[in-house]
Every structure is written in structure tokens, then in C-alpha cells.
Amino acid sequence: MKKNRLGVSDLMVSEIGFGCMSIGTEEDKAVSLIHEAMERGINFLDTSDLYDAGRNEELVGKATQGRRDQVVLATKVGNRRIPGKEGWTWDPSKAYIKSAVKDSLSRLQTDYIDLYQLHGGTLDDPIEETIEAFEELKLEGLIRYYGISSIRPNVIREYAARSSIVSVMNQYSILDRRAEEEVLPLLQDKGISVIARGPVASGTLAANRKIEKGYLNYDVEQLQQLREKLQKMVNGACSMSQLAIRYSLGHPAVAAVIPGASSLEQLLQNIEASNVPALSEEELETIRRISIANQYELHR
């Protein structure tokens, strides 16, 4: 599988990574999926302390025991569970980040994290303090690099200007092109890589998925019409979901996509996209023409 450099780091990540959020909580199945991914060329695994209250990190840690040197391990921080309080509280403070990393390291059964990501962020955060926390963790050797996971252009702009982030995880697909105008050109100019999540748009761009509701500013009818046009483009050469993955990888700012998979069939479909030729500029332009160039409105 092709590998790309993540920003200006020395991390080389498989162009198709594995978004581990959807692997479930049953150990044998989850570990088996991750092992299958690794054996087929995926070296980039993304998890978070938020997923299944830390259980996801534990499963990723279990799967990578004895194989730690074969993977680029990414996890996230910023959502804090307070005992006796339901749900999670946003906490980008230096004290919390430096405390939470120890719990993630323990669950992942490792002594370092390759890519530690802020799992959200707003302009009201103590951004300098947050950056300081990540920089100190780098100096301490607990993390190698850091990034943010955000769809807020104004927040991304702040971190791009003020920190040494190597990546931004951002939702990006044929159905969600909001990043194309504001975010992707900025990051490309700064040498910061995009990790594209949701390339298949929660399965909406999978051929066997029945469309029952809209997606972003698409209604059901618009989705059905677009899927028909995409299916004609595919014309048996690949699946619609593989075309969608190739579209997200088609922008030069994108270093990797991280589609999720809850079954072996889905995982193999995702991986097979690595054998589909990169889309030509003409094909990319056709997709842009038949889809909506949606833009960020609320996320500021």
C-alpha cells in the first residue's frame, strides 16, 4: 500500500488508514479486524479516549502488542469524563491533557503515541496553554507529534499559525466538500497534512446502502440522483465507496483517509481502494461538477 508523509514529520502513513471507532467492544472480533488491516498493508490506526469510554484504546493496544513498531498509532484527547456526571466535558487545559495522556498510554500498552490529537476545539479555549501541553509532551518523549481533529476553519487557522501541528483530521468526502475552499488550501500551503475522515459519508456512498434520510444539505432525492451519476462513473471498474475514497485522496493536502469498518467485508472493500488508480483531474472535476460545493456556515 502507498504511504505518504504526514506533514513535515517523519511519520509515513498508509494512504488508507483504519478508523477504529467502529470495531465494537468484543475483543476477538476487534483484534482480528485490526490484524487483518495490518497484514494487508494498513499501518495507520486511529482511536480516541472518547470511544467506548476508553475500551477502544484498550483493544487497539491489545491488537498491537508485539507489533508496535509496525504501526503509526494516533489517539485523541480533550473530552473528560467527570465521576457522577453523565457524558463528557470539554477540557483542553494543560493539566488535563498531561494527565489524560498517561491513561491513554496505559490503555494502549505503549510508552509513546505517534500522533496525539486535540479532539475538538473552539476559539474560547486557552489555545496557548493547549499548545504548551502538547509541546511539553513532545519534549518528554510521550508523544512524537501532535495535531488537531476539527471541522472549524477559524480554530484550524489558529493552530496552523501558532503551533507545530503536523496534521488536521477533517471530515471530507464527495458529500462534504466544505473543507475545499477554506481549509485544504491553507493546510497545503502550510505543509500540514489532512487526515480525511468520513470518506464514504457514514455509508451513504456505499452502493448497497438504502437511502432513507438526507446528508448535510442533500435531501434524499438529491442523494439518489448523485449516486446514480457516480454509479455510471464507476461502470464496474470499482465500487462506489472505493470511488469515494479515491476522491478524498485526490486532493494533494490529504495524506490519508480513515474509513471505519465494523466487518471484514467492509474492511476489505476499503483496502481494495488502494488498488484503484488515482482519479484523473478530469474525473475529479466531473465529481465536483455533479456534487454540491457545500461550505461551512455554523462551525466557527
Q: Is residue 46 part of a domain?
A: yes
List the domain range (segments joined by +) for residue 73.
3-290
Q: Is residue 299 part of a domain?
A: no
> Cβ of 215: how many Cβ atoms within 10 Å?
18
The model's pLDDT over 262-286, given as tens digits with 9 standing for 90+, comes to 999 999 999 999 999 999 999 999 9
Q: Is residue 297 part of a domain?
A: no
Q: Is residue 61 part of a domain?
A: yes
Question: DSSP labels for 220-234?
Answer: HHHHHHHHHHHHHHH
Q: Is residue 105 part of a domain?
A: yes
pLDDT for res 87: 75
User: Quick check: is 51 catalytic?
Assistant: yes
Question: How many domains would you assign to the chain?
Answer: 1
pLDDT confidence bin for 176, thresholds 50/70/90: very high
Q: Is residue 106 part of a domain?
A: yes
Find the catalytic residue in 51, 116, 146, 172. 51
Residues above pLDDT 70, as percent of the chain:
100
Q: Is residue 143 part of a domain?
A: yes
pLDDT at 85 exceeding the cut of 80: no
Q: What is the CATH number of the domain that holds 30?
A: 3.20.20.100
Decide: helix, strand or coil at residue 138.
Answer: helix
Q: Is residue 280 part of a domain?
A: yes
Q: What are residue 20's phi and psi, to 5 degrees? A: -80, -5
